[in-house]
Structure 1
Amino acid sequence: MSKKILMLVGDYVEDYEIMVPFQALQMVGFTVDAVCPDKKSGDIIRTAIHDFEGDQTYSEKRGHNFSLNADFDSVNPSSYAALVIPGGRAPEYIRLNKTVLDIVKHFSDANKPIAAICHGIQVLIAAGVVENRHLSAYPALEPDVEKAGGTYINVDVDKAHVDNNLITAPAWPAHPDWLSKFLGVMGVKITIKKNTK
């Protein structure tokens, strides 16, 4: 299996939802290529910090700058083992890009692992790959999932859901469960050696 993972991102992607998986997946040995439509390796995207502070919805603040490490125009989806789609504001507009949708369809048609979190599910919906699928998402997307022919699974904010190759979660508090399940679908097993001293 290829050790390369593709990450589809854009301006105002949710800060934790890009930073944490980007670094964690590299930590376990994967090459992670983060790409954005109309941008090249070395270009910067801005992130947004979404937090849960007791309001009826999340709050939004300016996050970090994130440097892309691959060119969107040279992506060959067949060279990647899996796809990650973070949430935040970016999915609203990257889902309007035909190439983004074609990339998502490639991973879906090839039954390769797709990990999407929070509003990243908007890209799956736009690509037409949620029909007859069971998935979680940010709770406000339940009507969108249902209208697209999928079944919305209501899990706790710190949990993820797996439907075959599709690993979804409602928001960044689910990172431990979401990433663990994503690695499991990819056949990665992490073991901790006992200290012999």
Structure 2
Amino acid sequence: MPAKRILMIVGDFVEDYEVMVPYQMLLLAGHSVDTVSPDKNAGEFIATAIHDFEGHQTYTEKRGHNFLLNTSFETIDVDDYDGLILPGGRAPEFLRLDTRVLTIVRTMHEAKKPIGAICHGPQILVAAKVLKGVACCPYPAVNPEILQSGGTLELFNDTYSNACVSGHIVTAPAWPAHPAFIKAFLDLLGTTIEP
């Protein structure tokens, strides 16, 4: 299977694992991944945040690493990409306000290209209005937005380790779901990994 070109849209305080691990796993699978952030250029960094589940009512947050952007946002042509990844964390809160990001998501959706959104990443899908009739399993705090947008919930009673595929969209609740999330995304791309 030929290598695919993946677009990953990120922003400051994206969840550290949810940007680092998918980026590295997709590279390992032989694909190229262009990492972009609105109004930033190749060679610039974004700050990440590390979220953890430590027994509180919600996750905790700590400063993570700097993540290098390898592509300038203004230079991308969405038609050049075979798939889209939207990591979680706090970045989706403000990325969903950028009409350019929403246009990219809608274009990928209309072309039925694989879209992967993890944790709070589905907030961007909600804002792009692409979830009507789509089953999702986001981080639970995003559930009301999914339902209000016409999406449905596929809930699992475990430790956030499942992913949900609905057509060309795969969602997952948090970084513990990386194996299922990336496997499902690779399946949508048509990528097989031999044991």
Distance 1:189 1:2 in 2: 11
Q: Aligned ranges for residues 128-167 of structure 1 at < 5 Å?
A: 128-155=129-156, 156=158, 157-167=160-170
Output the CA distance in 1 between the equivalents of 2:77 and 2:3: 13
The number of residue pairs the alignment matches comes to: 192
Instruction: Give, in angstroms, the shift of residue 37 of structure 1.
Output: 0.4
Aligned 1:106-125 pairs, distance under 5 A: 106-125=107-126
Instruction: Quote the Cα distance in structure 1 between the aligned partners of 2:132 and 2:35.
Output: 27
SS at match of 1:29: coil
Q: CA deviation at 1:2?
A: 6.3
Q: d(CA) in 2 for partners of 1:177 and 1:184?
A: 10
Distance (Å, rounded) in 2 between the aligned partners of 1:42 and 1:50: 25
Structure 1 residue 60 displacement after superposition? 0.4
Equivalent position amino acid for 1:100 in 2: V
Q: Distance in 2 between matches of 1:109 and 1:56?
A: 38
What aligned pairs does 1:24-173 form with structure 2 within 5 A after superposition? 24-155=25-156, 156=158, 157-173=160-176
Q: 1:98 to 1:2 in 2, by over 3 A?
A: farther
| In 2: Cα distance, 1:123 partner to 1:2 partner | 26
Residue in structure 1 matched with residue 13 of structure 2 by the alignment:
12
Contiguous gaps of at least 5 residues in structure 1: 193-197
Deviation track 1:136-171 (CA, whole Å, cap 9, x = no partner) reads 100011111000111021124001000010000000
Answer yes or no: is the 8 Å Cα contact 2:3–2:30 preserved in 1. no
CA distance in 2, matches of 1:62, 1:163: 33
Query: After the TM superposition, which parts of structure 1 deviate over 6 Å for at least 4 consecutive aligned residues?
Result: none
1:185 Cα offset (Å): 1.1
Q: How large is the Cα RMSD of the aligned pairs? A: 0.9
Deviates more, 1:150-159 or 1:28-37: 150-159
From the CA coordinates, give the structure whose radius of gyration is larger.
1
1:176 aligns with 2:179: yes
Cα distance, 1:132 vs. partner?
1.2
* Separation in 2, partners of 1:104, 1:2: 21
Asked if the contact 2:86/2:117 (under 8 Å) is kept, the reply is: yes
CA offset digits 1:50-99 (Å, max 9, x no partner)? 00001111000000001100010111111000000000010000111111
Judge conservation of contact 2:3–2:32 (CA < 8 Å) in 1: no
Aligned mates of 2:174, 2:77 — CA distance in 1: 28
Q: TM-score, normalised by structure 2?
A: 0.96
